[in-house]
């Protein structure tokens, strides 16, 4: 029997409006707080280009926060009305309170009506998991167990790499312990980060941003062949274009070449960054026993 499957996530997924409409995904906004106001990360309350231009000059530095449990519950109950089972995918619990807000908000639903998943990743590392899960749902007639197994496999084959203009914003966020004693910002180097399995890891340092793009291209290449790829930027479209040109031979047909990173993420990494979010084709060859099913 075909099951009607719904998907709900948070705004750190960076899914563009056309994807949200096409896949019928419900997105609950996170919030950016500054100037004594709190703004929904919904693509409406903040104009992204203006926000990134203003960000270096805002004092005190903006902060980000999870949605309230009440708001999450409102979105969840509305999304659950027209489906048999709801998959809820979020930013890592180690990096945000969003997972916990969703967990608490789900308590009004019977446990057999939903699956809550920590995606282990950020921006389109989360977004691609949603897209592939939706595709699996269509292929299997909404087989809940098949979707769960697929998501476990996809998670360990999802990587996000990013070259930052400075380490200062990540240090200010306080979300990554290794930045506290790091002297990268003082040396004016370009830090590289790797987001994988709920960790933001220090992945190297280079002296110029052009060199950083070279390094990014090499990191993406080692994961080929790719099933999904998105090029990301924090108000740096020219950097995104340069990276896309460097790895165009690796691109799957549905590659996205200029995803503007949401302020909910950009507040914590700063303007100017360029990155890549990818899913390896190898996930499809992962045996079920390797993921603890």
What's the pLDDT tens digit per position in 136-181? 999 999 999 999 999 999 999 999 999 999 888 877 766 655 555 5
**In this structure, are residues 114 and 80 in contact, taking their beta carbons and an 8 Å threshold?**
yes
Of 266, 203, 262, 216, residue with least CA distance to 243: 216
Query: Considering the entire predicted model, what is its pTM?
Result: 0.94
CA distance 63 to 3: 40
- d(CA 236, CA 240) in angstroms, rounded, equals 7
What integer pLDDT is reported at residue 179 of this predicted model? 54
240 is written with which tokens? 């995104």
Model pLDDT, residue 189: 82
Average per-residue pLDDT for the chain: 93
Segment 250-273, tens digit of pLDDT: 999 999 999 999 999 999 999 999
Can you give the pLDDT at residue 291? 63
Contact criterion met (CB below 8 Å) for 167 and 184: yes
As given in the structure block, the two tokens for residue 259 are 């995803």
- Largest distance between two CA atoms of the chain: 61
- Structural domains in the chain, sorted by start: 5-155 (3.40.50.10170), 158-285 (3.30.1180.10)
What integer pLDDT is reported at residue 27 of this predicted model?
Answer: 98
Give kind and range of the element (H or E) at residue 139. Answer: helix 123-140
- The percent of the chain in helix, strand and coil, each rounded to the nearest 5, is 45, 25, 30
Q: Which two tokens stand for residue 94?
A: 């180690």
Residues of the chain with pLDDT under 70: 173-187, 289-293
């Amino acid at each position: 029997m075909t099951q009607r499957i719904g998907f709900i996530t948070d705004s750190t997924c960076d899914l563009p409006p056309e994807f949200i409409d096409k896949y019928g995904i419900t997105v609950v906004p996170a919030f950016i707080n500054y100037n004594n106001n709190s703004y929904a990360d919904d693509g409406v309350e903040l104009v992204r280009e203006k926000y990134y231009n203003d960000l270096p000059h805002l004092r005190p530095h903006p902060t980000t926060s999870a949605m309230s449990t009440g708001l999450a519950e409102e979105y969840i109950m509305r999304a659950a009305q027209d489906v048999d089972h709801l998959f809820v995918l979020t930013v890592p619990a180690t990096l945000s309170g969003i997972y916990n807000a969703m967990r608490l908000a789900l308590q009004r639903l019977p446990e057999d009506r939903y699956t809550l998943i920590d995606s282990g990743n950020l921006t389109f590392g989360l977004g691609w998991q949603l897209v592939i899960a939706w595709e699996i749902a269509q292929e299997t007639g909404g087989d809940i167990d098949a979707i769960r197994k697929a998501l476990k496999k996809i998670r360990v084959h999802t990587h996000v790499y990013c070259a930052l203009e400075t380490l200062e914003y990540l240090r200010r966020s306080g979300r990554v312990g290794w930045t506290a004693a790091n002297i990268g910002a003082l040396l004016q180097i370009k830090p590289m980060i790797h987001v994988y399995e709920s960790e933001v890891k220090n992945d190297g340092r280079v002296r110029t941003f052009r060199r950083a793009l070279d390094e990014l291209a090499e990191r993406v290449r080692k994961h080929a062949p790719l099933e999904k790829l998105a090029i990301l930027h924090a108000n740096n479209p020219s950097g995104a274009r340069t990276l896309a040109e460097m790895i165009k031979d690796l691109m799957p047909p549905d590659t996205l070449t200029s995803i503007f990173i949401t302020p909910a993420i950009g507040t914590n990494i700063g303007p100017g960054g360029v990155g890549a979010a990818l899913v390896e084709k190898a996930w499809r060859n992962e045996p079920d026993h390797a993921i603890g099913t």
